[in-house]
Amino acid sequence: MTDTAAAVRGKVVAITGGARGIGLATATALHRLGAHVAIGDIDEQAVRASGKSLGLDVYATLDVTDPDSFEAFLDEVQTRLGPVDVLVNNAGIMPVGLIADEPDAVTRRILDINTYGVIVGTKAAVRRMLPRGRGHVINVSSMAGETYTAGLSTYCASKYAVIGFTESVRVEHRGSGLDFSLMLPSFVNTELTAGTKGIRGFRNAEPEDIAAGILSLIARPRPKLRVSRVFGAAVVAQKFLPRRVGEALTRLLGGEHVFTDDVDPVQRRAYEERARAQGD
């Protein structure tokens, strides 16, 4: 058995947004290795279908923007599986487009789900974990939380906020026995990126790559992990370049158009409709 397998076996792990994409890939990998996994998602049909097909004991409807819904989810996990060892705050949406065209309701929804939902979940988990003196919260931000991109302004804002929040909570709990980690994925082939082309010269990651990263964080908690490594290295390198050079490079790789005029509206439509309406 690998170190990761041994570390995750028997752990109670709750994953938000677990009906599909990165959340589902993470649930699948953990379940396979003998963790006790619960998934929560606002998409009732999808979470039921995924939970059943994986054979999970707990799959529930969850709206991360509603503290009562989050508490009810964690209560159910605790009752059925035991106290939560790891909470993965993964639920998120990414409507794209020019800021001038973004309806206020969409702006609020992005911040509500991607930022407020992570804060709600972290608080709920911390309150349960502190008395036990152990537990691990993994917040899924994005490399969009360390860079900036046209057509993605509110999403970037929401993911930057998750980084500041998680780092602060981590130092606030130094010595408490609790761990806090950030997972920063690059482009990943899920419905969230439907109809987009990615950055020229970089291969998109698969949800399983991000799942493997989350498992490695559970096995060995660290403050921050970027996946893919290559994309992560490029993001870090850009921080050291003069602004004009970094932005020129991004333009050269097509970065200015990825979430604006290069989006395929037909391939993108179903995702945009789902994400913009989620929670209505």
DSSP string, 158-207: HHHHHHHHHHHHHHHTTTSSEEEEEEEE-SBSSGGGTT----TT-PPBPH
Stretch that binds ligand NAD, among 29-37, 130-138, 186-194, 252-260 (CB under 6 A): 186-194
Pairwise CA distance, residues 221 & 243, whole Å: 32
CB of 183 to ligand NAD, least distance (A): 8
Range 124-183, binding ligand NAD (CB under 6 A)? 140, 142
Stretch that binds ligand NAD, among 57-65, 130-138, 247-255, 262-270 (CB under 6 A): 57-65
93 vs 126, which CB is nearer to ligand NAD?
93
154 vs 190, which CB is nearer to ligand NAD?
190
Helices 21-32 & 44-54, crossing angle to 10 degrees? 20
254 CB-near residues (< 8 Å, 6+ apart): 197, 199, 200, 262
Contact 177, 128 (CB under 8 A): no
**Helix, strand, or coil (residue 140):** strand
34 vs 195, which CB is nearer to ligand NAD?
195
Pairwise CA distance, residues 99 & 89, whole Å: 26
CB of 73 to ligand NAD, least distance (A): 9
155 is catalytic: yes
Range 68-87, binding ligand NAD (CB under 6 A)? none
- Catalytic positions, written as ranges: 155
**Interface ranges with ligand NAD (CB under 6 A):** 16-17, 19-23, 41-43, 46, 62-65, 90-94, 113, 117, 140, 142, 185, 187-188, 190-193, 278-279
